[in-house]
Chains A and B, each alone.
Chain A
Amino acid sequence: MATQTPYEVLGVKPDASAEEIRKAYRKLAKELHPDLNPGKPAAEARFKAVTAANDILSDPEKRSRYDRGEIDESGAERPRYSYRPHAEGAQGWKYRPQGEMDAGDLDDLFAMFGRGRAGRPGEGFKMPGPDRQFTLTIDFALAATGGKQRLALSPEEWLDVTIPPGIEQGQVLRLKGKGGPGFGGGPQGAPPGDALIEVHIAPHPFFRREGDDIHLELPVSLAEAVLGARVPVPTVTGPVTMTIPKGSDTGARLRLRGKGIHRKRRGSDTTGDQYVTLKVMIGASGDAELEKFVEDWVKTHPTDPRRAMGPGVDPGTTDKAAQGTTTP
């Protein structure tokens, strides 16, 4: 027999009013009070039970907590039944929604998880192979023009990776099917994973990229700058000849149209330019003839290249002590 409920102990119905409970308690308490029943342990035990039952039922909050099963007959917290462990356990299958797939074999489960992939009925479970990751360092010109670069996947296995023109530093190329082998999938097999190749571009000694344009600092001689010249200039697609206009100076920027990065785009291709910044190299240190010429020339052609920096030193009166040193 299960423990009596407090209602049973007091002999009242579960929907008894507070007044009915109070009356029932008083009646029983009088009957069973230990002072009126000396030496009767049974009465004393019942008296305790009646008091405990009244403790719960006379307090509306305790009574409703008891009704909800939150506390037991003694007023102690009752461990709450949590539905979740039951629902997630083997017993829970009983309550699966109507029409839900059976708990049958794993194939059903995999059929469900395989939906949306390229699975065909009857093929059973299959899973594409894992991706493999590689890094590949290419030189500047290849990054600009695009092309092929061999990548060793393992000592026995290599891949000729197609580099698109204008690839960016750190860009990742995905090569379908070059990863690890797939799992399952019957005779045809599941597709392998992909190779993910992170591309690094080695810095170039004199080319620099800005978007699709290439920048280059080009040393020219004093004569080429003063007199003008046609000089060979390296580009990412090989040297071209460029005209240095007569009277060019350091910092002059010339453009080689279309010698930047060429991209094929839907609709129309785009092409960057190469910008060439001149740097005049005198290259005649200690040449007595040049010194003599300049000494004469400057008398009639005073110039101050630092004028823009504000009032400065009068050219020709430079303090010897503050003279800069040249490094070779």
Chain B
Amino acid sequence: MIGLDELIQRFAALDRTELTRWIENRWILPGEEGGRWVFHEVDVARVELILEIRHEFAVDDEALALMLNLLDQVYSLRRQMRRLAGALEVQPPEIREAIRKALPKAGEDL
């Protein structure tokens, strides 16, 4: 967990005004401690991701918002999948086998 100044310092390409705008857009959701923003690891990693997208793919704010929304949806699904996989993993082998068999093959109707 780091503060705003340390975050700015960590990424030389990161501009304070720009970061403030990302926070206002709710692309970055810092925590708050004693009236100051604090950034957890996931926030720092996300800042780096946004920096990469902006600078390496040269996308504007509008496209960036769309990309982040799609990315968030993908990761949300992946988290749900992992939860389900975790729940399946602790089932007895015969139940896991039954579920495996009940899975439609890709392209089959549910």
What A residues does B21 contact at CB under 8 A? none
CA distance A89 to B41 in the complex (A): 11
B87 & A129 in contact (Cβ 8 Å cutoff): no
A130 vs B101: C-alpha distance in the bound complex, in angstroms? 6
Check: A106 CB closer than 8 A to any chain B CB: yes
In the complex formed, the residue of B with least CB distance to A3 is: B9
Q: Which residue of A lies closest to B69 (CB)?
A: A97
Query: Is A81 located at the chain interface by the 8 A CB criterion?
Result: yes
Chain B interface extent, by class = 35 or more
Nearest-Cβ distance from residue A191 to partner chain B, whole angstroms = 11
- B76 lies within 8 A of A83 (CB): no
B72 proximity list for chain A (CB < 8 A): 95-97
A66 interfacial contact with B, CB 8 Å:
yes
The 0/1 profile, CB within 8 Å of B marked 1, for residues 75-104 of chain A is 000001111101111011111110010010
Those 8 A-B pairs whose CB atoms lie nearest each other, nearest first: A91-B42, A86-B42, A87-B75, A67-B12, A83-B49, A81-B45, A130-B98, A130-B101
Interface residues of A, Cβ cutoff 8 Å to B: 2, 5, 7, 14, 66-69, 80-84, 86-89, 91-97, 100, 103, 106, 109, 112-113, 116-117, 127-131, 180, 183, 193
Between A and B, 18 residue pairs with Cβ closer than 8 Å are A2-B9, A68-B12, A69-B48, A69-B51, A81-B45, A83-B42, A87-B75, A91-B41, A94-B29, A95-B42, A95-B75, A97-B72, A100-B76, A103-B79, A106-B87, A117-B110, A128-B102, A129-B98
**B contact set with A: CB distance below 8 Å:** 6, 9-13, 29, 40-42, 44-46, 48-49, 51-52, 55, 69, 71-73, 75-76, 78-80, 82-84, 87, 95, 97-99, 101-102, 110
